[in-house]
């Protein structure tokens, strides 16, 4: 039983590695479809903006609410800017935006690809002498990574603004004090560390969602199963990557 599951997991990891190599090869050799790439940039990025914006604003506000009580107790309000920015940029921002992105974009990507498989649209592409990896998967892979990167930058900015606003309203921390604490104590690397994680999460979401989508079988039930597997695997990948990157990055 355990051996069988381990074998299945190894098979999936192997399949993902091969798929990743093929998608990257399609991108490197410029065979990936450009129209599909731009269509997915819009679909993945522009359409995800509202949900990422709401998540980011709430992340900023919640961080202040959670730390506010302790900060006020110790009279360390001058450190609010540093504390919330550090947590948001390095950890909470990328993780929560990644999870929202996985739920919205990853699940949608798997469902769309899975439906295309079970309705023979992928077979139709192959019958028309078109490689589905170059036409369908590689453009999505790149679009998801780029958009996760860009939305994390925008999301971080929005979260910091929301945190500053919440600190002012709830704790009476002056905006200039908040900014001074941020500017003095936050290093550029704190920002880059979060961005590197975001790119890693984007890559994992893109690969996992494409893999489960293109390997869908068993009709509508199979699509549901594939989406479920993709969402769970994406979330697990995000936390595993976060652990590894947190340990590796200074």
Q: Would you tell me which residues interact with other proteins (CB under 8 A)?
A: 39, 112, 115-116, 119-121, 123-124, 126-131
Can you spell out the DSSP letters for the chain? -HHHHHHHHHHHHHHHHHHHHHHHHHHHTT-S-HHHHHHHIIIIIGGGHHHHHHHHHHHHHHHHHHHHHHHHHHT-GGGHHHHHHHHIIIIIHHHHHHHHHIIIIIHHHHHHHHHHHHTTHHHHHHHTT--HIIIIIHHHHHHHHHHHHHHHHHHHHHHHHHHHHHIIIII---HHHHHHHHHHH--HHHHHHHHHHHHHHHHHHHHHHHHHHHT--SHHHHHHHHHHHHHHHHHHHHHHHHHHHHHH--
Structure tokens at 57: 């604003």
From the CB of 119, what's the least distance to other proteins, in Å?
6
From the CB of 123, what's the least distance to other proteins, in Å?
5
From the CB of 39, what's the least distance to other proteins, in Å?
7
From the CB of 122, what's the least distance to other proteins, in Å?
9
Please say which residue, 99 or 107, places its beta carbon nearer to other proteins: 107
Please say which residue, 119 or 246, places its beta carbon nearer to other proteins: 119
Please say which residue, 102 or 115, places its beta carbon nearer to other proteins: 115
From the CB of 201, what's the least distance to other proteins, in Å?
26
Please say which residue, 128 or 248, places its beta carbon nearer to other proteins: 128
Please say which residue, 127 or 248, places its beta carbon nearer to other proteins: 127
From the CB of 5, what's the least distance to other proteins, in Å?
20
Please say which residue, 39 or 225, places its beta carbon nearer to other proteins: 39
């Amino acid at each position: 039983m355990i051996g069988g599951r381990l074998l299945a997991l190894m098979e999936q990891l192997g399949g993902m590695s091969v798929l990743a190599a093929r998608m990257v090869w399609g991108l490197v050799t410029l065979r990936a479809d450009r129209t599909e790439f731009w269509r997915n940039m819009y679909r993945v990025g522009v359409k995800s903006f509202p949900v990422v914006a709401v998540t980011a604003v709430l992340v900023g506000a919640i961080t202040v609410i959670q730390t506010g009580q302790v900060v006020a107790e110790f009279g360390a309000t001058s450190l609010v800017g540093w504390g919330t920015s550090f947590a948001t940029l390095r950890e909470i921002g990328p993780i929560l935006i990644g999870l929202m992105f996985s739920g919205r974009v990853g699940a949608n990507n798997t469902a769309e690809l899975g439906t295309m498989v079970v309705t023979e649209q992928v077979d139709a592409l192959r019958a028309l002498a078109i490689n589905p990896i170059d036409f369908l998967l590689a453009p999505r892979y790149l679009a998801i990574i780029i958009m996760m990167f860009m939305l994390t930058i925008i999301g971080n900015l929005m979260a910091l603004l929301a945190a500053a606003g919440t600190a002012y309203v709830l704790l009476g921390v002056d905006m200039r004090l908040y900014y001074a604490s941020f500017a003095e104590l936050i290093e550029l690397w704190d920002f880059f560390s979060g961005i590197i994680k975001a790119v890693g999460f984007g890559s994992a979401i893109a690969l996992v969602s494409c893999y489960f989508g293109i390997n869908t079988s068993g009709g509508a039930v199979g699509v549901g199963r594939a989406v479920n597997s993709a969402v769970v695997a994406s979330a697990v990948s995000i936390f595993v990557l976060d652990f590894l990157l947190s340990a590796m990055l200074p």
